[in-house]
Amino acid sequence: EGTELSLSCKIDSLSKGNGEVKLKGGKPLISNPWMRPDEIRRYAGLLNDSTMANIRTVSVSWCAYSTVIQLRSWMPDDIGGVAWIALDNPGQSPRFPIFSGNTELPMMLGVCGQHRKREDAALWHYREANRISSMKWGQTRESLQSAQQYFLDKGKREQSFVEQTWWNTDEKERTAFLNGYTADFFNATIGRWDELAKKYWRQFWSGF
């Protein structure tokens, strides 16, 4: 139970951005938790006050990926070690599991999308919805964080199922099972974030 708690706490702490930091005074409506340092400086100058301080957290809009490693020495290596991965901003993106026993990953995870938009890069399937959400954070926060929490709950809820199924599967098929589970989980997050991007484009078609 302690391991599960520490995993949840670690994921939660890495997801916090400037939106969760208490600031003196009011929070300007033109700001959002994922602003770049240059944006913060510009808006702070316009407001001429101290309500917008640049606090560097793990959860930022230019993040490429975030990893939380879960290690359980009392279990076989294949399922005892799990990397919970979030691509793009961990304060907005869901996490998916990669097990020590995985030998194959979806092809999109082998393509870098950090320097330009690429449809074949997994990163951009999260980044598009996240960027739109950042511009209208007050109106999109609930739907985005609800989807993010769904996959966190799914991962914790299904972890015992994965472990039990691995034990009950023929040794020759165990690796294929883990590869398939990770691919299914990953593809589910991609599909949900693609849907969110389309939803936000429709919602804000007239402008930001």
The CA distance from 66 to 113, in Å, is 15
The CA distance from 132 to 86, in Å, is 18
CB 89 within 8 A of CB 61: yes
Nearest-CA neighbor of 17 among 51, 49, 55? Answer: 55
Place of tokens 């033109």: 30
Average the pLDDT over each of 11-25, 103-117, 140-154, 182-196 and give the range with the smallest value: 11-25
What local confidence, expressed as pLDDT, does residue 173 receive? 98
What does 39-84 look like in DSSP terms, one character per residue? Answer: HHHHHHHHHTSSS------S--TT--EEEEEEE-TTS-HHHHEEEE
Query: In the predicted model, what is the mean pLDDT of residues 113-121?
Result: 92
pLDDT digits (tens, 9 = 90+) for 15-40: 665 455 444 444 555 556 666 777 76
* In the predicted structure, residue 154 carries a pLDDT above the cut 70: yes
Query: In the predicted model, what is the mean pLDDT of residues 169-184?
Result: 98
Q: Mean pLDDT score of the chain, rounded to an integer?
A: 85
What local confidence, expressed as pLDDT, does residue 201 receive? 95
Q: Judging by beta carbons within 10 Å of its beta carbon (0-12, 13-18, 19+), is residue 199 exposed, middle or buried?
A: middle
Per cent of the chain over pLDDT 70 is: 75
pLDDT digits (tens, 9 = 90+) for 44-78: 666 665 555 556 667 777 788 999 999 999 999 99
More confident residue, 121 or 35: 121
pLDDT digits (tens, 9 = 90+) for 124-140: 999 999 999 998 888 99
What local confidence, expressed as pLDDT, does residue 205 receive? 84
pTM of the predicted model as reported, rounded to 2 decimal places: 0.80
The CA distance from 168 to 36, in Å, is 49
CB 132 within 8 A of CB 200: yes
> Do you know the residue count of the chain?
208
